[in-house]
Structure 1
């Protein structure tokens, strides 16, 4: 493909992805994934950082997964250092969908503790997908430092990540249930219940944990009668 034609194609994709109508942007992302062209990757990655619509972002991620990992992964890894939170969040999310385990070293402590909740949540989800077996204990310990963080959705994301790790998470979760911080101990206790019963309701588990923390463990049996 000559340079003029390539530039024209890039411009058209950029314009379609920047259209005011989200349906137009969605169709453009769908087309880019249906007929993957390595020359589109830069445009798709750049759009991920600014796209306001969830469904379009999801389609952009899908479009990127349609390209060879050797093309997309280096560009997405570079986005993990972006000063724009959405760029970091969408990049780590897309990397988890690609599933290239060589990316694991790029899921750093800084990402797992990112000040932006959406970045941290994406990093937690990606980490449990990409972590090597021998690193699971360390990841569980790192995730446990985030107990008590954020609102319900943030806390549920952390609990799900720890549940996904399975038995290796149990010791650090159990330790956190004894925290002097009531929010940390309640979140950890709810997570412990989910580890033993993944179908348990998160809100009910949190409410029960907070009630026990408020009343004291000796009164749990009495109040349940």
Structure 2
């Protein structure tokens, strides 16, 4: 079979067949009277073997060894090919991520493209200082894809850089909730913590409260705490049990107590909060530190019930608890005398 017909039937160009011949990879078994290459059935089978190995990513030199050296074992080479392919896919995924980020920024010119590329390069630096500078020194008003910033927030372990990223994300005006919400459901607890903290600092957006409410059930105390503080600041009373738990645990207890005080402006919610705090006082009768924190939370609330509970605590068997409670009773009485409004409403 002549080279032209082999090319048509095999799909391998005549030029490539000549190249295979020059390399000694597939040499035609015969020549015609006119000197033209003539391929046998065995030659054609070898061509298909070459093409099959090429489809796996082998170089022509490796293919030659595989076909000629009986001792050439495929296992090591295939393992190398797997590793090289994985590396290439990783590079391609990174390229795709960059291209999508640039596309999402809706660039109007190449300067916009270059700014986004420069930001991505800065964020991928091993230097925390450079990553932070990349966020803080971007031009005012420059469009940055929310997905890019959100992805950087989820990946950032340095607290200073993470703070700068959350600040930039919150003021970007873009909707990054979908990316951050995926982080809230990650198996990586550090990633969940970063995601909830970032959502907490976003301007209120539809769906954010629902994501944070889901995080109240997270097994990690820090995740639950970030979610409860954010929800409480937004007036969501579902955060009350977690906020009370934070007072008991001493985790951001001052912030939690202040938010409980704000939520207690609703009379029905106030009754729930007082009841929960009193229950915890009973449950931790032997823990002075917990009871003092609970007293500190009570003083943030309003109502005669709160004052009565603190008066009882002022006679507590624990001198430290009694001293703190007595001081808080004085604070409430002074507040009432100044017209601060200490009556149940």
Q: 1:79 aligns with which of 177, 183, 187?
A: 183
The higher relative CO (CA closer than 8 Å, separation ≥ 6) is in 1
Q: Aligned-pair RMSD on alpha carbons?
A: 3.7
Which whole-Å deviations, capped at 9, do the CAs of 1:50-82 have from their partners, x for residues lacking one? 22222211110111112225x222322232212
Q: 1:46 aligns with which of 151, 158, 164?
A: 151
Is 1:192 the equivalent of 2:295?
A: yes
Q: Give the number of equivalent residue pairs.
A: 199
Q: Which runs of 4+ in 1 moved over 6 A?
A: 2-7
Distance 2:159 2:123 in 1: 14
Q: 2:129 aligns with which of 23, 29, 35?
A: 23
Sort the Cα spacing of 1:182 and 1:219 in 2 relative to 1 into closer, same or farther, 3 A: closer
Distance 2:228 2:139 in 1: 26
Taking structure 2 as the reference length, the TM-score comes to 0.47
2:263 counterpart residue number:
165
Sort the Cα spacing of 1:154 and 1:175 in 2 relative to 1 into closer, same or farther, 3 A: same
Distance 2:143 2:242 in 1: 38
Sort the Cα spacing of 1:32 and 1:187 in 2 relative to 1 into closer, same or farther, 3 A: farther
More helix by share: 1
Sort the Cα spacing of 1:82 and 1:43 in 2 relative to 1 into closer, same or farther, 3 A: same
Taking structure 1 as the reference length, the TM-score comes to 0.68
The runs of 5 or more residues in structure 2 that have no matched partner are 1-106, 302-312, 327-345
Distance 1:195 1:101 in 2: 32
Q: Which has the larger radius of gyration?
A: 2
Give the match's secondary structure for 1:34. coil
Q: Is the 8 A contact 1:50 1:87 kept in 2?
A: yes
Which whole-Å deviations, capped at 9, do the CAs of 1:180-223 have from their partners, x for residues lacking one? 5745x84354133244159xxxxxxxxxxxxx8xxx924649x8
